[in-house]
């Protein structure tokens, strides 16, 4: 157990923590904006995440504290909880609500959360908090939920309690991630395969644009509607439940059915990106990181030119990556409109990469990015 966290826990609650849990953040290596089109994604858990220390108390009070936020909450056990403003503790509070809806017995807990996933970066700090809370409650109260059920509970928290209409990829990757592995996940069926993802002489540079990732609800919904329009046009002759029901070769034969050129571009991105996920899984298994890097660049180009969700900040990072011989590839990751990019950088050159990128980006954008060195780590676990 981290001694600084244990010491802080003692100071806050006048008792030692009895258990320590950890859940990571996540990145999506490739496969963007296809989760709502019945396609495949390739997420992985990272070595940044959320620690949670807990101990039962005798007062029947749930005490939420964080080293990252000033807001705190003390609340007794009750039959139902409501969302309270926009504070961070709504995520574990929502998990408690789900446990109560499933009639799981609970007792008062002292809880200390501490995370190093940048909030608003698109690396799933919220899913990390949800999953670590759900896993800790499940272990502490012997609730007998499976890991998949904890993922589904956490998604319901995000959708129903918090009010964010997100998919299941984030919680799934946070829960099921493995060191040096990626997950090829079908977001529709939740079937998945473990993909070897040994980075060898490379590391993952995670570059936060520091542009607040305020995912434009109107732009997001517009993309969803355009994909639905493309599917409707294609189904004049085909019978597809989702756009990703066909590959690029078949799309090329039937794209004439789509009259709107913008809608056609959106559909092309989705279908080609789904094919890239399949190819990326194969090249990662074979250890061909150079080819994987090329697929990262191709994914970003598609998101920029066909799906139009990148923006100046993300494009500036990827343009810089292309000038560096020590970088195999890079792309935006997440929904876009800000947030983060990833780059596959030679480990020995990471510091040099970071030192060069920061002034390059700052000159063009007007403020500095944050650059992190990450590996692919384990999913949720008890420490």
| Cα angle for residues 172, 174, 180 (degrees, 5° grid) | 105
Compute the distance between CA of residue 154 and CA of residue 156 in angstroms, rounded to an integer. Answer: 5
Q: Report residue 94 as tokens.
A: 């929502």
Give start-end residues of each CATH 3.30.230.10 domain in the chain. Answer: 3-198
Q: Say what the pLDDT of residue 337 is.
A: 81
Residue 217's CB: how many other CB atoms inside 10 A?
Answer: 9
Supply the pLDDT for residue 65.
95
Write down the CATH number for the domain with range 202-374: 3.30.70.890
Q: How many CB atoms lie within 10 A of CB 108?
A: 17
Nearest Cα neighbor of 308 from 347, 262, 353, 349 is: 262
**C-alpha to C-alpha distance for 108 and 240, rounded to whole angstroms:** 50
For the chain, give every residue range classified as CATH 3.30.70.890.
Answer: 202-374
Q: Which pTM does this prediction carry?
A: 0.89
Residue numbers annotated as active site: 170
**pLDDT tens digit at each of 383 positions of the chain:** 455 999 999 999 999 999 999 999 988 999 999 888 989 999 999 988 999 999 999 999 999 999 988 899 999 988 888 898 888 999 999 999 999 988 888 899 999 999 887 666 566 688 899 999 999 999 999 999 999 999 999 999 988 888 877 778 889 999 999 999 999 999 888 899 999 999 999 999 999 999 865 555 568 778 989 999 999 999 999 999 999 999 999 999 999 999 999 999 999 999 999 999 999 999 999 999 999 999 999 999 999 999 999 999 999 999 999 999 999 999 998 878 888 899 999 999 999 999 999 999 999 999 999 999 988 999 999 99
Pairwise CA distance, residues 301 & 366, whole Å: 24
Q: Which CATH class is domain 3-198?
A: alpha beta
| pLDDT recorded at residue 212 | 63
């Amino acid at each position: 157990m981290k001694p600084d966290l244990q010491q802080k826990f003692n100071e806050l609650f006048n008792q030692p923590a009895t258990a320590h849990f950890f859940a990571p953040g996540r990145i999506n290596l490739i496969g963007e904006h296809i989760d709502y089109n019945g396609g495949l994604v390739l997420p992985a858990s990272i070595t940044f995440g959320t620690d949670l220390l807990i101990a039962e108390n005798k007062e029947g009070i749930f005490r939420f504290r964080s080293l990252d936020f000033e807001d705190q909450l003390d609340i007794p056990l009750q039959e139902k909880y409501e969302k309270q403003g926009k504070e961070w503790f709504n995520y574990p509070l929502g998990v408690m609500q789900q446990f109560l809806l499933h009639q799981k017995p609970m007792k008062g807990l002292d809880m200390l959360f501490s995370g190093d996933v940048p909030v608003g970066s698109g690396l799933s700090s919220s899913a990390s908090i949800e999953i670590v809370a759900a896993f800790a409650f499940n272990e502490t109260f012997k609730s007998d939920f499976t890991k998949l059920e904890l993922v589904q509970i956490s998604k319901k928290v995000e959708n129903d309690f918090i009010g964010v209409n997100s998919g299941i990829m984030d919680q799934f990757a946070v829960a099921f991630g493995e060191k040096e592995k990626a997950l090829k996940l079908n977001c529709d069926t939740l079937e998945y395969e473990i993909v070897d993802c040994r980075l060898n002489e490379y590391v993952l540079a995670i570059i936060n644009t520091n542009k607040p990732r305020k995912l434009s609800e109107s732009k997001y919904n517009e993309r969803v509607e355009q994909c639905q329009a493309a599917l409707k046009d294609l189904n004049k002759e085909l019978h597809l439940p989702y756009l990703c029901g066909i590959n690029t070769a078949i799309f090329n034969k039937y794209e004439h059915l789509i009259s709107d050129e913008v809608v056609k571009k959106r559909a092309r991105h989705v279908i080609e990106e789904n094919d890239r996920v399949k190819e990326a899984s194969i090249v990662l298994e074979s250890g061909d990181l150079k080819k994987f890097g090329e697929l990262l660049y191709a994914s970003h180009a598609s998101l920029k030119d066909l799906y139009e969700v990148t923006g100046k900040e993300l494009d500036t990072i990827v343009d810089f990556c292309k000038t560096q011989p020590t970088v195999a590839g890079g792309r935006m990751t997440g929904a876009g409109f800000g947030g983060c990019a990833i780059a596959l950088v030679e480990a020995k050159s990471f510091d040099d990469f970071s030192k060069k990128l920061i002034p390059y980006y700052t000159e063009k954008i007007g403020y500095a990015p944050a650059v992190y060195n990450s590996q692919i780590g384990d999913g949720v676990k008890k420490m």
